[in-house]
Chains A and B, each alone.
Chain A
Amino acid sequence: MRKPVTNGIRIFLFILAFLFPLSLSAQEVDRSATGGAQTLEDILARQAGQTIDTTYQLEQLGDPESAAPSSADLGVLGGASDADIWRAYRWGETDLSVSSRTAAADVVMQDSGMKWLNFRAGPLRTYGGYLLLGMLGVLLLFYILRGKIRIEGEKTGTTIERFKPLERFGHWLLAISFIILAVTGLASLFGRVALIPLFGKEAFSAYAWIGKWVHNNISWAFMLALIWVFLFWVLHNLPSRHDIGWLLKGGGLFSKHSHPPAKKFNAGQKLIFWSVIILGGSISVSGLSLLFPFEFHLFSHTFSVLNNFGFDLPTELLPHEEMQLAVLWHSIVSFVLIAIILAHIYIGSVGMEGAYAAMGSGQVEKQWAKEHHSLWFEEVEKANSSTTPAE
């Protein structure tokens, strides 16, 4: 029969090991007894979420010292052990012949996939979802507190042209393609947790198949429209001295009777424009790397540039790791841009009287133009009066 004191010490040590797991990683672990395989210390450290030193395992690939003697029954593995082979697979140290000539064909095993899967199914969905719901909540709150921003002066009943047909076509091509990409993209990320429980696996499977085709191919319309609007509007979106005043007054969005002067685009619209160009451009680049798998090495190149600025990022990435990082980057930047566009859609529709007409018909009420884009309105009026023949 064991003494109670001995059992007590065992329990105390067990609890101590869980309370202070860091001390385990600090110890020099002797792996010779396990032939390089993991030890109890490794298992405890992994359970505690610590990084495990794997260099010993990496160095033991095909070590002749650890091979079985030639006199032994070697079987199909020869002098190598199962552990040797699996370790070599994991670290990409095997000499393989592969039937496919693709860049990633000779990568038999890569454990970064699990990190990618966990991040995609965990924080990406959670925080991305919170971001979009949070933005919808903020907009709802803004609508409740501020209400619809009305045209304050007396309406003139006459309009002026704000956007030409080609400008509006570019805008709507970008908008329609972006909405379709956002819906199909979100469905692919949240399908398993949100759509399958609602519609079942078969219905979702059909939708996902169509959604993937649409997402992949509509992306070209988005990229084309991105270039289109950039060329049409870049000059109007360069910063000007009026932008600071507009921003300091919050664009007059938070108080009535406040209309800071603005040209064709105010500072808020300029921020939206550059967000769309920069974030949309980044989404396009990562999207292209996903459309043409294993062709680009975006992240290894980016990381090597960043390392020049003091970062310590890995520059030798497996082809699959490149794709996994591209998926994550594509999703994160998309979440941010969707949140920004939700605010843009709100202020361009239900949030402000007369705003939708600018992109709807291209014609805006003169009083609206005078209040929200006074400098641009003056320019247009001046140009119109100079071209109108005297009576």
Chain B
Amino acid sequence: MRMIVLATIGAFTIAFLAEAILENSGWSTAERTASSNVRLD
């Protein structure tokens, strides 16, 4: 049981770290998938 608790804490620690690293890297999924103004030439 102790190892399950430890692994759960580990999983969420990795999740928060991953999000922080991605945000600091400049990657933005929101920008990547942003809607765009379109003009027909």
Chain A positions within 8 Å of B, measured between CB atoms, are 85, 94-100, 102, 104-106, 108, 165, 168-169, 172-173, 175-177, 180, 213-214, 217-218, 220-221, 224, 291-295, 359-360
B33 A94 Cβ-Cβ under 8 A: no
B14 touches A224 (CB 8 A): yes
Residue from B11, B12, B15, B29 with most neighbouring chain A CB atoms (10 Å): B11
Summed over the interface, the residue pairs from A and B with CB atoms below 8 Å come to a total of: 88
Given A172-B6, A176-B8, A293-B33, is A97 in contact with B15 using a C-beta cutoff of 8 Å? no
A85–B40 contact, CB under 8 A?
yes
- Interface of A, secondary structure class, is helix
Considering only residues 1-33 of chain B, those with a C-beta below 8 Å from chain A are 1, 3-4, 6-8, 10-12, 14-19, 27, 29, 31-33
List, in ascending order, chain B residues with CB within 8 A of A224's CB: 14
How many residues on chain B are close to A (CB under 8 Å)?
A: 28
Q: Inside 8 A of A100's CB, which chain B residues have their CB?
A: 34-37
Complex: A177 Cα to B13 Cα, angstroms: 12
- Report, nearest first, the 10 A-B pairs whose CB atoms are least far apart: A100-B36, A172-B7, A217-B15, A221-B11, A220-B18, A99-B37, A105-B36, A221-B14, A97-B39, A95-B41
- Known contacts A214-B15, A217-B15; decide if A176 and B4 are in contact (CB<8 Å): yes
Selected contact of B18 from candidates A99, A108, A169, A217, CB within 8 Å: A217
Q: In the complex, are the beta carbons of A177 and B11 less than 8 A apart?
A: yes
Contact residues in A for B10 (Cβ distance below 8 Å)? 169, 173, 221
Question: Do A173 and B16 have beta carbons less than 8 Å apart?
Answer: no
Q: Is the CB of B7 within 8 A of A102?
A: no
B17: chain A residues at CB < 8 Å are 220
User: Nearest Cβ in chain A — how far from B6, in angstroms?
Assistant: 6
For B6, the closest partner residue in chain A by CB is A169
A169 CA to B4 CA, complexed, in Å: 8
Residue ID in chain A nearest B31 by CB atoms: A102
A80 CB to closest chain B CB (Å) equals 10
Please judge, given known A-B contacts A172-B6, A291-B29, whether A96 and B14 are in contact too, CB under 8 Å. Answer: no
Flag if A97 contacts B11 (CB, 8 Å): no
Smallest beta-carbon distance B16→chain A, Å: 7
Besides A102-B36, A217-B18, A293-B32, 9 new A-B residue pairs in contact (Cβ under 8 A), listed by A number: A95-B41, A97-B40, A97-B41, A169-B3, A172-B3, A177-B11, A213-B19, A217-B19, A292-B29
Q: How far is the CA of A213 from the CA of B41 in the complex (A)?
A: 39
The reply to whether B27 and A292 form a contact with Cβ atoms under 8 Å apart is: yes
The residue in chain B whose Cβ has the minimal distance to the Cβ of A173 is B7
- Chain B proximity of A76: nearest CB distance (Å): 11
A230 to chain B, nearest CB (A): 17
The answer to whether B32 touches A102 (Cβ under 8 A) is: yes
B38 A173 Cβ-Cβ under 8 A: no
Q: How far is the CB of A79 from chain B (nearest CB, A)?
A: 14
Instruction: Flag if A165 contacts B40 (CB, 8 Å).
Output: no
Show 27 residue pairs from A and B whose CB-CB distance is below 8 angstroms, ordered by the A residue. Answer: A97-B39, A98-B39, A99-B37, A100-B36, A102-B32, A102-B36, A104-B33, A169-B6, A169-B7, A172-B4, A172-B7, A176-B4, A176-B8, A177-B11, A217-B15, A217-B18, A217-B19, A218-B11, A218-B12, A218-B14, A218-B15, A292-B29, A293-B29, A293-B32, A293-B33, A294-B33, A360-B3
